[in-house]
Each structure stands twice: as C-alpha cells, then as structure tokens.
Amino acid sequence: MRTPKSLFETPFAKGDWSSLERPRFSPRMLLEDEDLNLGVDYTRQVMRLMLKSMFGCGVVCGLQVTSVPTCKGMKRRIDVAKGIAVSCHGDLIEVSKPWSHEFGDDCDGDFPDYVWVVLCYKEKCCRPKEAGCSADEKSQSSHTRVRAGYEIKLYATLPSCACRCGNGPVEAESSISTSDGCCDDPAPPATGGNEDDESQPDACRCYDDHLLGVCGCDHGCDCVVLGLVMPNDVDKGDEDDPTDDVVKVDSTMVRRNRPLLNGWHFCLEQERSNQQATGQTEMRGIRQSAGAVQLDKRTAKEKAVEARGRKK
C-alpha cells in the first residue's frame, strides 16, 4: 500500500497578479511614452494604496470650518483653514491656503439653515507642448503636466458620496440625502441623536472596520465632509434684530485619520505615573503638614501645663 505524502511536503499553490506594475529598462531599449508614464503611475498607485488601506479616507490635519453672519445677519461667511485630507481613492487633497466664501446673494437672507461643507479632489492637464511635426503641417500638442487641485463645495443637503462618520445631528435630518453614500456610516455622532435609543449605534463604529483590518473605502468617492454650518441654539435676545442671529459649525461627523505615534502610549503611561507620583507626594506633604500642626498643638498644650505648674 502506497503511503500518501504529507500536505506540507507537497504544498498546493495557486495565485494571481496584483494591479501594481512597474517598468524595467535595459540598455539600448527604445522607450515610449507608456514606459515612462508607468514609472510615475506605479509610484502614485503605491502611495494611494498605502494611504487608503493604512489610514482610510478623512481629514488628516487642519481644515477647520468656521462661520460668522455678515450683512446684518442676512448672509453667511464660511471659512476653511488650510490642511490635508485623503479621499477614498487614496489621493492627498491639499488645501494650501485658507478658503473663504460669503454665502447668500444681495443680503436677502436666501440661504438654507443647514449648509454642508465638503472638500473634493480634482486634477487637470496643463502645459501643452508641441508633440512633433505632422505631414499636413497642422500643430499637434500634448499636455505635459497633471496638476492636483481641490474644490470646496457647499450643499443644502448631504451629498450621496462623501467620506464621513454618521449623518450629523438629528436637527439636520431633513437635509440628509437618503441615497447610499461612500465610506459613510449610518450612525449619528456622539453628540447627536437620542442617547436612550439603543437602535442608534455609536458613531465610533465608523472606525471599526479600520481597526479590525477590513479593507474598505473603495467606492470611487473623491469628497470628504468638513463640517455642517447650522443655527446655534442660544438665546438670541431681540428677535427683531437680525444681528443677533448666531451660527455654529458641527464637525462631529468628520472622519479623522491622523497616524498614531508608537511612543504616545509610553508618554501617556509616563504622564499618568508622574501624576500619580505627584498626587502621592502632595498627599504625603498634606499628611506631614497636618501632623506638624497636631504636634504644634500638643506642644503648645504641654507648654501651657508646664507654665501652670510653675505658677503653683
């Protein structure tokens, strides 16, 4: 009887090829535009794959949204600080300078109460050059550069495709699109919704797939939610005075993906240890001070008794 070989002695192997492809040059090779472009595209694809898989979409740093009423409360100025975000494709979206826009026309107050601020990635071809001589003497040109850019869009309703965590506060439910989105989560933010309603999951679940190593955010979305401009629930004083109109920005649904440094945990534990040591030292000082006070009181009583004894 023939003894079968172990599976580890004859391993089964089957695979396929990834989407990454890089050029390889040899001496005296005739290069074409596809060969040279592939070298750039390979580096870009590696970077995009790394960003979207390791960090996911969202705001990396900056891009804080602020808003103030203008034109006696009849218009809104929306400001976005410079910063960096990552789209679902893994493209870096750089806002290199502060962005500002006054929302509303001719001070007529015609603007929605809720304004979604969304950052989108875009790019364009530029710097055309002559590609070569043609037989018919007509000019032929090709673009030699691709420049990355961005657009900051203002929506009255939440766009169907935008990277975010949750749908914002319950007050803005009427301004939320019901269509399926990209990289979004149906959970409300931690500060919104009914806390007693167990059917509403916590907004932190937006990060569950990322922490569990689930590959996602591959729906072809180029936009990231930066915030929601909305009325402020405060006492406005005189209702007839439009200058008392106040707005606020809700950023609880913004998905943030800044890397965490390994040394942070050590620093945090060290800081906690220092705080505990400081607290213990303070407690010892308090106890010693209290003991010194009690000792001073006993000493004073003893001195008083001795003084009375001498008088007798």
Strands 247-250 and 65-70: unpaired
Q: Which of 44-53, 98-107, 286-295 has the lowest mean pLDDT?
A: 286-295
Q: How far apart are CA 269 and CA 5, in angstroms?
A: 53
Q: Structural domain of residue 96, as residue ranges? A: 57-254
CA atoms within 13 A on the CB side of 146: 6
The predicted structure's pLDDT at residue 286 = 67
Count CB neighbours of 83 within 10 A.
Answer: 18
CA atoms within 13 A on the CB side of 190: 6
Q: Evaluate whether residue 131 is within a structural domain.
A: yes
Identify which of 216, 193, 217, 213 has the alpha carbon closest to the alpha carbon of residue 203: 193
Identify which of 58, 42, 5, 6 has the alpha carbon closest to the alpha carbon of residue 209: 58
Q: How far apart are CA 171 and CA 103, in angstroms?
A: 21
Q: How far apart are CA 119 and CA 211, in angstroms?
A: 25
Q: Evaluate whether residue 134 is within a structural domain.
A: yes
- pLDDT tens readout for residues 201-237: 455 678 887 878 887 666 668 899 999 988 876 544 4
Q: Are 57 and 87 in contact (CB under 8 A)?
A: yes
Q: Evaluate whether residue 172 is within a structural domain.
A: yes
The predicted structure's pLDDT at residue 247 = 81
For the chain, where are the alpha helices, taking DSSP H only? 33-54, 208-211, 263-311
Positive or negative CA dihedral for 93, 98, 102, 103?
Answer: positive
Region 239-244: what's the mean pLDDT?
Answer: 46
The predicted structure's pLDDT at residue 1 = 56
Q: Evaluate whether residue 167 is within a structural domain.
A: yes
Q: Evaluate whether residue 92 is within a structural domain.
A: yes
Q: How far apart are CA 115 and CA 207, in angstroms?
A: 25
Q: Evaluate whether residue 89 is within a structural domain.
A: yes
What are the tokens at 2? Answer: 């023939």
Q: How far apart are CA 62 and CA 84, in angstroms?
A: 7
Q: Evaluate whether residue 78 is within a structural domain.
A: yes
Region 63-75: what's the mean pLDDT?
Answer: 85
- pLDDT tens readout for residues 102-151: 876 677 667 778 889 999 999 998 888 877 666 666 667 788 888 899 99
Count of domains forming the chain: 1
Q: Evaluate whether residue 114 is within a structural domain.
A: yes
Identify which of 87, 40, 20 has the alpha carbon closest to the alpha carbon of residue 59: 87
Beta strands in the chain (DSSP E): 58-62, 65-70, 75-80, 83-86, 92-95, 99-103, 115-130, 141-155, 223-231, 247-250
Positive or negative CA dihedral for 38, 44, 50, 52?
Answer: negative
The predicted structure's pLDDT at residue 297 = 61
The predicted structure's pLDDT at residue 219 = 62
Q: What is the DSSP string of 227-239?
A: EEEEE--S--S-T
Q: How far apart are CA 267 and CA 277, in angstroms?
A: 15
The predicted structure's pLDDT at residue 186 = 46
Q: Is the pLDDT of residue 16 over 80?
A: yes
